[in-house]
Amino acid sequence: MKVSVNLCCYDSEKYLEETLASVWAQTFTDYELVVINDGSKDGTERIIRAHMEQGRPIVYHPQANAGLGRARNKALELSKGELIAILDHDDVWEPAKLEQQAALFDRAEVGFAGSDAWMMDAKGRLLTRYAARNPMKRGRVLKDLFLNNFIPCAAAMMRRSMIDKAGGFFRPDFHIAEEYELFLRLAEHSEFDYVDEALVRIRVHAASAGWNIPVERGEMRIAYDELLARHPELLRELGEDVVRIKRAGFWIGERDSNLRRTVLSAASRLPNSIVNAALSAKRSLSRLKSR
């Protein structure tokens, strides 16, 4: 088995049929789909079993709700593939996604890979390209990835042996930043590569897990603290201001102007309550625009 597609579901019936259709449409066919039903209360179970009855290559595991980190780990545990591809239950792949990305792993140095993506709203209307604000990098990307997460989760593909080398599995106590924390660990041990095309459509809507700002920020702070403990040279190179900006929940990309960096530096000295309020207002506005 070359690729194990990991799909974790929770109350997924609204978008699941479209997501599954994009898997069955892949031009690359040496894959299995590992589906974890993490305690759904809607029609998710019915949809999955209907596809299993059609003979689709599904490994299915229903469980009591345990959170996304533990659900992703169960999917990994059940996966037999050399490569692991993540797909969220409300996102959509383009037909050549697996084929184009699997070819990147012909180089032994590559431990994980991604692609550009379209952001879309709840109705499927395209909004913007992910890489327009988050330019991707190739090679050893630890510092760049620490500053700015340029890997859309639903675009990620990882070498299973490199996940094991990086400590194995996702953090089970994380519910939002579990994939980013793993990407950081993979960047410590291997190279990153990507397809410079939008191979994924990522749905942004009010129910998206990432809107829980306090949880997301708390998990990112843990990930950063642990990473900086392993790599104190990052703190020395980037400085205290940049690290505090990161802990406040901001991304810092290469396209940031000097003016924006000055503003962010000033923001790093504000009380956390003010920073939290600003982040909440910013993301609430984005959420409204996506409806």
pLDDT in tens, 205-246: 655 544 577 888 888 889 999 999 999 999 999 998 888 888
Q: Which two tokens stand for residue 16?
A: 């699941």
Query: How many domains does the chain contain in total?
Result: 2
Task: Indicate the residue among 174, 207, 240 that finishes a domain.
Answer: 207
pLDDT grade for 182, boundaries at 50, 70 and 90 = very high
Instruction: Give the orientation angle of helix 178-189 with respect to helix 213-230, to 10 degrees.
Output: 20
Domain harbouring 200, CATH code: 3.90.550.10
Which among 190, 207, 224 is the end of a domain? 207
Written as one string, the DSSP assignment of 83-101 is EEEEEETT-EE-TTHHHHH
Q: Who wins on pLDDT, 18 or 243?
A: 18
110 with 163, same domain: the answer is yes
Residues 192 and 280 in one domain: no
In a shared domain, residues 26 and 165: yes
Residues 95 and 201 in one domain: yes
Please determine, for residue 74, whether its predicted confidence score (pLDDT) is greater than 60.
yes
pLDDT tier at 176, thresholds 50, 70, 90: confident
Q: What residues make up the domain containing 224?
A: 213-289
**Which pLDDT score, from 0 to 100, does residue 78 have?**
98
Q: Are residues 49 and 173 in the same domain?
A: yes
Give percent of the chain above pLDDT 90: 69
Q: Which of 207, 233, 264 is the last residue of a domain?
A: 207
Looking at the chain, which runs of residues are DSSP E strands?
Answer: 3-9, 31-38, 58-63, 83-88, 92-93, 110-120, 126-129, 157-159, 191-203
Question: Which residue's entry shows tokens 């994980």?
Answer: 112
Considering the domain architecture, whether residues 68 and 146 belong to the same structural domain is answered as yes
Same domain, 201 and 238: no
pLDDT score recorded for residue 65 = 95
Q: Are residues 258 and 168 in the same domain?
A: no
* Same domain, yes or no: 217 and 200: no
Residues 117 and 188 in one domain: yes
For residues 118 and 219, state if they share a domain.
no
Q: Do 7 and 76 share a structural domain?
A: yes
